[in-house]
Each structure stands twice: as structure tokens, then as C-alpha cells.
């Protein structure tokens, strides 16, 4: 897989350099790191290379790095380098998803052979995903953004159109809806997929050092700046910058950022030099930025520059028919992560989950799935009555619950659903349409009759 990156992480500088040379001589494309943390900025589900990491390192160790990488994509090959005393640990890691391990001391040719085979494996994984997408089967994007509701189908269609472009994008959605998942998908579908994906949380930037964090600084630019430092924008060259919660960006910085996004140049603090910046910007907001403009908290010219391409991520309450499948996926993921015996949730539980509002959206649903998998809190979900709600709304909610419950119970087969509910086929279709329920979401090898 010529040109695919081989990330090598080892805090021993001499060993790292000699290993890089051996991999380079074998025709591979190694890139060395002294710490694990910067590697995570480069990891995406579309990453085409492999990761080789020492187990024992300060900060984030090799096993923790592997876990974090596999949270992004469990099929990214991670090869572990171990000392003699770490072999039992590496064997356990193999059971938990490591691609291979190599005990020190090892030859460069031996490691290069393992890495080359891992690259071939990774190429096959990505090729198969693309083939499944062409064949109309569930692809990587559908696995990452689960749901057969009209809103999610439309969102995935937009992503497939916009992703391969280089357009800047504004993503709007409530807290916990998955805006960063959408942003990473856009990055992975673009020509920048092998380059860094750098996420910057605007609300968490330190007030006194915001410009230094983003643009970098020269030595002596301010008290305490003993040496030059590159900023996050520099680190993302060739890749994608996610500006999370951009509405929290201070007004004075908004003016500087407007120039960056328009001219694609930056100037480090303490320097008059303009440096060209080749990046794609993706911004997220919890509220429509038009509201912040009206309140005088956001520049209208920056809004116009950002929202040339805009995506909206729907809240869970607007796609309740997706909740059963999404919860099942989150529960299976939690069970696998904790090496627990897989257990499918009951239809009754899924039906009840689909009736709740989920103000924390997917993040809240994931936390519930995690606790349920660990047995910390068994779900005993009850649908609460809204004493102040309108009768028509309560009746509609109850009817929707009955429909979802019946579809889950009969695994999407319509005939037993309309017979059990005493409806005609046409009446059932009308109700599914009125409530925005996609029957395909509930299929389990069942056929309509």
C-alpha cells in the first residue's frame, strides 16, 4: 500500500530513529512521534495506515492509545512493541483487538514485514467498505450515523455530496446530537482524510493566550514566551480544523478569524510574517448563529462566510424511530468494550426508550447504554404522563408508542402488526406516515406480506 502512513510512537528517540530508517528502507512511509497524544489528532475512520506503538510510555501508554484509536475505528491495525516483561500484557491486548505484537529486541526487517501485511489488511478493509457503499449496502457512514428516519437519510445524502468537496461547513445541532461525528465524517470523506483533524473547543480556550494557542508565537512575543511555538492552525496544515461551539468565540477574535477564513493566512504573535494556511474549516453551534447575531454576540459577516454550506443534525426526539437501533448499537459497543457477554435488549425496553424526549440526545442515550451494560443501573423506563399536555398530543404520543412497540415485537412484518392492532393495511400505512415512522428500521429478516 504505497504511500500509506506508518505511525511509529516510542519515547526512546534513538530507537525511534533507527526503526524509522528500517521502515523507510523497506519502502514504507514512517512518521515518528515521541508521545501518543498527537497521533489521536490524526486518527479518523478513513485513516489508511497502521500504528506501531511501544506499550510503556509516559502520558498516554500504548494500550490506552489502542483503545482510543479503536473507539474511532476498531479495524485500524495497531502493532504493539513490548519489553520482555510485557509479553503477557501484549497477549491480552491481542485478545482485545491488537493486530500484532513484537518483542524487543527485534530486527527492522521483521517489523517491516508485519507492518506491510497490516497495510494490506487495512487496504482490504477500506476497499470492502467502498464496495459495500457502491452496492447500496450499509456503508461506514450509515454505521457511524445510525438511523432510517427521513431526517438521517437526508443528512447522510448531504454528507456524501459535501464531504468530498473542500467547502467550509457550519453544523448546527443541540448538545449531544453528534455534531463532531458529522464533522469527522466530512473530513474522512474528503481528500484531506490522511491529514490532521484538529478539534478546537472555542468555549475552552484560555482568555489570555487564545491567539497564541491558535496562531502560535515567536520567542519573546510576550512575557514567558521563551521559544517559538506553532499554534493549532499550523498543526492542522493540509487537514481539517473543527471549531466546536464557535458561538462562544470572543468578539475580538471573531474579527481575526474572519480574516483567516477569507484569506487563508495566519501571522504568529510577535511576527509580521504571513504564512499561507491550507485547511478546511468546519464549525459547530448549539444554537442558530442568526440568534447570536440578533443579540449582538456574533459577527454577521462571519456568519455569512461560514454558512455557505450548512447542515442541521436532528435531535433524538425528532427521530424517535431511530432510537431502538441506535440504543442496540450503543449497548453492543459498550458490551464489547468491557468484554461482556452480548445481550440484546428486550422489545418492551426498546419501545419504552423510543417514547422519551432524551434532552441530552445521543450522548445521554450512550450513557444509559453504558450503565445498562455494566449493570450499574438496570433500565426500568416508564413513560411519564404529561398532566399539563394537550389531550390530542398525549393521544398521539400513546398511539405512536403502540405502533413502535408492535413493529419491534413483530420485527417489522406489517401483516401481524395491523392484524394485532385491528387496523387495515392502508390505515397502518397512513398512521406510519403521519407519525414519521420508517418500517424498514424494525426489519429483522422479516418480509412484508
- Separation of CA 285 from chain center: 16
Q: What is the mean pLDDT of residues 365-388?
A: 65
What percentage of the chain has pLDDT greater than the value 90? 24
Beta strand 265-266 pairing with 275-276: antiparallel
Closest CA to 244 of 184, 320, 330, 189: 184
Dihedral, CA of residue 13, residue 240, residue 305 and residue 156, to nearest 10: -160
Residue 140 zone, left/alpha/beta (φ > 0; ψ -120 to 50; rest): alpha
Q: Name the pLDDT band for 240 (thresholds 50, 70, 90).
A: very high
Q: What is the pLDDT of residues 276-296, one digit of tens each?
A: 889 999 999 999 999 999 999
Q: What is the pLDDT of residue 447?
A: 39
CA-based R_g, the chain, Å = 25
Cell 394485532 found at: 420
* Alpha-carbon span 44 to 63, nearest angstrom: 18
Which of the pair, 389 or 202, is modelled with greater confidence? 202
CB 9 within 8 A of CB 51: yes
Per-residue pLDDT tens over the stretch 135-178 = 544 457 888 898 888 889 889 989 988 888 888 999 999 999 99
pLDDT tens profile 200-228: 888 877 666 677 778 877 776 677 767 77
pLDDT of residue 392: 60
Give the phi and the psi of residue 50 in degrees, each rounded to 5: -130, 165
Question: What percent of the chain has pLDDT above 70?
Answer: 86
Rounded average pLDDT over 310-331: 91
Which of 48-57, 95-104, 202-211 reaches the highest mean pLDDT?
A: 48-57
Query: What is the predicted pLDDT for the residue at 86?
Result: 66
In this prediction, residues 26-37 reach a mean pLDDT of 91
Closest CA to 355 of 383, 331, 376: 383
Q: What is the pLDDT of residue 139?
A: 58
> Mean pLDDT in the chain?
82
From CA 73, how far away is CA 47, in angstroms rounded? 9
pLDDT digits (tens, 9 = 90+) for 172-193: 999 999 999 999 999 988 888 8
What is the pLDDT at residue 344? 80
> What is the predicted pLDDT for the residue at 382?
43
297 has pLDDT over 80 = yes
Amino acid at each position: 500500500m504505497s504511500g500509506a502512513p506508518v505511525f511509529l510512537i516510542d519515547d526512546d528517540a534513538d530507537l525511534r530513529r533507527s526503526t524509522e530508517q528500517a521502515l523507510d528502507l523497506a519502502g514504507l512511509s514512517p512518521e515518528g512521534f515521541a508521545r501518543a497524544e498527537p497521533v489521536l489528532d490524526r486518527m479518523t475512520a478513513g485513516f489508511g495506515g497502521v500504528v506501531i506503538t511501544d506499550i510503556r510510555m509516559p502520558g498516554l501508554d500504548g494500550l490506552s492509545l489502542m483503545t482510543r484509536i479503536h473507539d474511532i475505528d476498531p479495524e485500524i491495525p495497531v502493532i504493539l512493541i513490548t519489553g520482555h516483561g510485557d509479553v503477557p500484557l501484549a497477549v491480552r491486548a491481542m485478545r482485545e483487538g491488537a493486530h500484532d505484537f513484537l518483542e524487543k529486541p527485534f530486527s527492522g526487517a521483521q517489523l517491516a514485514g508485519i507492518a506491510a501485511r497490516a497495510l494490506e489488511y487495512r487496504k482490504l478493509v477500506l476497499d470492502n467498505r467502498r464496495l459495500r457503499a457502491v452496492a447500496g449496502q450499509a456503508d461506514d457512514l450509515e454505521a457511524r450515523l445510525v438511523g432510517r428516519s427521513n431526517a438521517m437519510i437526508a443528512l447522510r445524502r448531504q454528507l456524501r455530496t459535501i464531504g468530498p468537496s473542500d467547502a467550509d461547513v457550519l453544523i448546527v445541532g443541540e448538545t449531544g446530537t453528534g455534531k463532531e461525528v458529522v464533522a469527522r465524517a466530512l473530513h474522512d470523506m474528503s481528500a484531506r482524510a490522511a491529514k490532521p483533524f484538529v478539534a478546537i473547543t472555542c468555549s475552552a480556550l484560555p482568555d489570555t493566550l487564545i491567539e497564541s494557542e491558535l496562531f502560535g508565537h515567536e520567542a519573546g512575543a510576550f512575557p514567558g514566551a521563551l521559544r517559538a511555538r506553532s499554534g493549532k492552525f499550523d498543526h492542522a496544515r493540509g487537514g481539517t480544523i473543527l471549531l466546536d461551539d464557535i458561538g462562544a468565540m470572543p468578539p475580538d477574535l471573531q474579527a481575526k478569524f474572519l480574516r483567516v477564513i477569507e484569506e487563508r493566512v495566519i501571522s504568529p504573535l510577535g511576527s509580521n510574517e504571513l504564512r499561507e494556511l491550507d485547511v478546511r474549516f468546519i464549525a459547530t453551534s448549539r444554537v442558530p448563529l442568526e440568534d447570536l447575531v440578533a443579540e449582538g454576540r456574533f459577527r454577521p459577516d462571519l456568519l455569512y462566510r461560514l454558512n455557505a454550506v450548512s447542515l442541521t443534525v436532528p435531535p433524538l426526539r425528532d427521530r424517535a424511530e431511530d432510537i431502538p437501533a441506535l440504543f442496540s448499537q450503543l449497548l453492543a459497543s459498550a458490551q464489547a468494550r468491557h468484554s461482556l457477554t452480548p445481550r440484546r435488549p428486550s422489545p418492551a425496553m426498546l419501545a419504552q426508550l423510543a417514547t422519551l424526549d432524551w434532552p441530552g440526545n445521543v450522548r445521554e442515550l450512550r450513557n444509559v447504554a453504558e450503565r445498562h451494560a455494566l449493570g450499574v443501573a438496570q433500565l426500568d423506563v416508564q413513560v411519564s404522563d404529561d398532566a399539563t399536555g394537550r389531550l390530542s398530543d398525549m393521544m398521539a404520543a400513546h398511539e405512536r408508542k403502540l405502533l413502535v412497540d408492535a413493529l419491534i415485537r413483530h420485527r417489522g412484518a406489517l401483516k401481524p402488526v395491523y392484524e394485532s392492532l385491528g387496523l387495515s393495511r392502508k390505515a397502518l400505512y397512513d398512521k406510519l406516515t403521519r407519525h414519521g415512522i420508517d418500517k424498514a428500521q424494525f426489519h429483522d429478516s422479516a418480509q412484508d406480506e
